[in-house]
Structure 1
Amino acid sequence: MSMRSQERRNLLLEALSVGEIDVDEVALRLNVSASTVRRDLQHLSAIRAVRRTYGGAILARRPPETTLAERLAVNGAEKRAIARAALDLVADGDTLILDAGSTVAAFGQLLATRRLRIITNNLALLPFLTEAPGLDLVVLGGALRATSMSTIGPLAVEALRLMTADRAILSADGVVAGRGLCEASLDQVTLKSLMMRQAREVIVLADASKLGRAEQTAWAPLPRNWTLVTDSHEPAEELQRLSEAGAELRIATASVT
């Protein structure tokens, strides 16, 4: 049986992590044609994971991180639609773990009238949640990560180990089938991975621009079954791969209220 494209692309990214690769050499190693490797590199280049060179490729330079305010300004309508759609997945009385990130921030702002227990490292949400009478709020301590207005590090991890939840609501810089959630730092993915382990269900909120995106270098693997709330049926190929990787897909639309 031939190796699936996602498996090949994962192997290509691993090979690129130690330096530039040569197309013909990698084709020989993977037992596929050079044209197949070129198509895989073209796909990885399209999602800005690699940069093509003469006869091969190198990993793309990791882009600088944007601030939370900058991320909130990008695809704002889509993020609000995703947030509204995700409300249907939450029941009063639930315990939720809320991750950092702009889409989770949009979701959290809709919870002020609900009756929930919320565990979060998302400091940007505190002004919206602290006065809500039906919320029992637990804030994870730790080191401040100013770009996302969140806490990370061993203090946040150790605190979260003491708690479990019904659902973990997560965001990510990228969501890639077979690899998981992509972020800029190991501290981020360490905490996200624990959030997933401590929750009975995992829900990822990600607009279509995040799907298949692998620009950063740290990864949090997803569980066998999870839910993806996104805003578009495109990219269809990536959504199909994510579905095959265990995602239950929910597509938000502008008509969601």
Structure 2
Amino acid sequence: MKVAKRREAMLQAVLSGMNDVSALCEHFGMSEATVRRDLRALADERRIVRTYGGAASAASVGMHEPEESLDTRSESFREQKEAIARVAVAHVQDGDTIFLDGGTTTAALARCLAGRDGIHVITNNLLAVSLLAPADVPVTLIGGDVRPSSMSTLGPLAQIALSRLTVDKAFLGADGVVAGRGLCEATAEQAYLKECIIRQAASVFVLVTSNKLGRASQQHWTPLERDWTLVTDAPRDAPALTDFTLRDEVTVESAQVSL
């Protein structure tokens, strides 16, 4: 297994609750030195926090993580995002008007929608526009201020535009999602824009990779106080999904990552 893929797998294991070096050694069949080296590298990237004898999610120790660059997010968990997009696209039917939120996971869904007939996409995601418009998919870009770190629009103009629109299905990303609490984001404007989207959607889907489950890495929140569907790459029996599967308002769908 290549180093990058091995460390992504180790990150997911830590975020799912496997926190001891000994358990990680047994799980991956690797030496203690290799495991410790990988944990140190993940900690240096601020993706986890080293603890005595192992590691933990940064969110579990109350840290607010710095937001990753767009390039970093575009490259990380690529296969998982593509798997999530393949599950999510099955919910898009001919005649639908859908909203695609900002982010690289929703951009992966846009790639799956390229060339589709009979749908209308409303979005604040400039990455999605660049994928869909050349493929002749009708796209409405809501206005607002451009946020370069995510290549999305937000702010008062975006909020006003959303108040004039309704959609059949909204597909949202997030920096983290916590059962019973909602979605966390780096800025108040991002969090509030998601709240506006949720109000205007008949159905809501949250598309997140498993490292974001239970992750309260930022301080701004969008409540989720209605029925919604979580689409993630975590296996159905993953400990990180337990809190979600126990809630009546959440439907959980697991995506199979292609090997």
Alpha-carbon shift at residue 192 of structure 1 (Å)? 0.5
Q: How many residues align?
A: 204
CA contact (8 A) 1:47 1:212 kept: no
Structure 1 window deviating more from structure 2 (244-253 vs 188-197): it is 244-253
**In 1, distance between residues paired with 2:255 and 2:236?**
12
Q: Which residue of 2 aligns with 1:47?
A: 57
TM-score when scaled to structure 2? 0.74
CA contact (8 A) 1:118 1:136 kept: yes
Amino acid across the alignment from 1:126: V
Structure 1: 4+ residue segments shifted above 4 A = none
Q: Deviations over 1:174-215 (max 9, x none)?
A: 010111011101100110011111000000111111101111
User: What's the secondary structure of 2:134's corresponding residue?
Assistant: coil
- Among residues 119, 124, 147, which one is paired with 1:121 in the alignment? 124
Say if 1:117 and 1:74 are closer, same or farther in 2 by CA, change over 3 A: same
Q: Report % sequence identity.
A: 45
- Among residues 174, 194, 210, which one is paired with 1:208 in the alignment? 210
Unaligned runs of 5+ in 2: 1-54
User: What's the secondary structure of 2:112's corresponding residue?
Assistant: coil
| Equivalences for residues 20-169 of structure 1 within 5 A | 46-49=56-59, 51=61, 59-60=62-63, 62-115=64-117, 116-133=119-136, 135-169=137-171
Alpha-carbon shift at residue 91 of structure 1 (Å)? 0.4
**In 2, distance between residues paired with 1:92 and 1:194?**
24
CA contact (8 A) 1:208 1:234 kept: no
Q: Deviations over 1:67-101 (max 9, x none)?
A: 22210111110111111111111101100011001
Alpha-carbon shift at residue 224 of structure 1 (Å)? 2.3
**In 2, distance between residues paired with 1:223 and 1:87?**
24
**In 1, distance between residues paired with 2:175 and 2:237?**
16
CA contact (8 A) 2:84 2:233 kept: yes
**In 2, distance between residues paired with 1:150 and 1:206?**
17
Q: Deviations over 1:105-158 (max 9, x none)?
A: 11111111212111100011222111223x221101101111000001000000
Say if 1:119 and 1:232 are closer, same or farther in 2 by CA, change over 3 A: same
User: What's the secondary structure of 2:256's corresponding residue?
Assistant: coil
TM-score when scaled to structure 1? 0.75
Amino acid across the alignment from 2:86: R
Q: Which residue of 2 aligns with 1:252?
A: 255
**In 2, distance between residues paired with 1:218 and 1:47?**
18
Q: Which residue of 2 aligns with 1:220?
A: 222
Amino acid across the alignment from 1:151: T
Q: Cα RMSD between the aligned structures?
A: 1.9
Greater gyration radius: 1
